[in-house]
Amino acid sequence: MKYNFGIDIDGVLTDEGPDHNSIWQQKMNEFFDREITLKEYTYDLRKAFALSDQELNEFIQENIEEIYSSVKAVEKARKILKELYDQGHRLILITARSEEHRPITENWLQENNIPYHELHHEDQKAPLAVEKNISLFIDDKKENAVEIAARNIPVILVSKYHNHDFDGNDQITKVKDWDEIKTNIELFFSKNTHSSKLS
């Protein structure tokens, strides 16, 4: 049985560094004249780093391409995706990054040897996950996880400071790293093989 995997990029394939010294925070400290620290555990960068709308816009404008091209990849992710790819599963990357950053994203994926079949730039991930017949989704944003799980698609949610207040549920399994992602993918395979044998 071959499956379609839906996979987020930022925070899942990228290694942004420790919560209190992430690549975002480092670049913000280079960019602004005051010390920037992580103030609030939220996905919203304005609130997380106590920036004004204008400050965040200026920061993104000046730094986003540098961040997208220089952020490290999670080494284990590449290895595990390669195994899935070689087993014949379909790897569908779905990122909320703007379409204008597609070339930089494709370059980064290539430079980091991350295998995939499709790359989609889409903010509304749940409808696309349904359209693409995704069997299992991996993301780090809890709002995405909840919306995708509501379409009856199981989700592996990578633990991050911004999802600390959510422990997961029947459909959403929270994990801390790619070792745990691998364990949960194997569990998913065994459950689905088992149920198809019964039917």
Applying CB under 5 A, the residues found at the interface with Mg ion are 8, 10-11, 140
Using Cβ positions, the residue closest to Mg ion within the complex turns out to be: 11
Shortest Å, Cβ 44 to Mg ion: 13
Residue 8, by phi and psi: left (phi above 0), alpha (psi -120 to 50) or beta?
A: beta
- Separation between Cα atoms, residue 87 and residue 36, nearest integer Å: 44
Distance between the two ends of the chain, CA-based, in angstroms?
14
Would you say 8 or 147 has its CB closer to Mg ion?
Answer: 8
Instruction: Show the DSSP H helices in the chain as ranges.
Output: 23-31, 45-48, 53-70, 75-86, 102-111, 125-131, 142-149, 178-198
Active-site residue, 123 included: no
Distance CA 99, CA 125 (A): 14
Nearest to 178, CA basis, from 156, 193, 162: 156
Question: Toward Mg ion, which CB reaches closer, 121 or 192?
Answer: 121
Least gap, CB of 22 to Mg ion (angstroms): 13
Q: Which is nearer to Mg ion, 90 or 160 (CB)?
A: 160
Closer to Mg ion by CB, 6 or 11: give it. 11
Confirm whether 15 is a catalytic residue.
no
Distances (CA, A) of 60 to 16, 68, 75, 97, 145: 16, 11, 26, 12, 25
For residues 49 and 41, what is the distance between their CA atoms, to the nearest angstrom? 9
| Nearest to Mg ion of 102, 192 (CB atom) | 102
Q: How far apart are CA 82 and CA 113, in angstroms?
A: 9
Return the active site residues. Answer: 8, 10
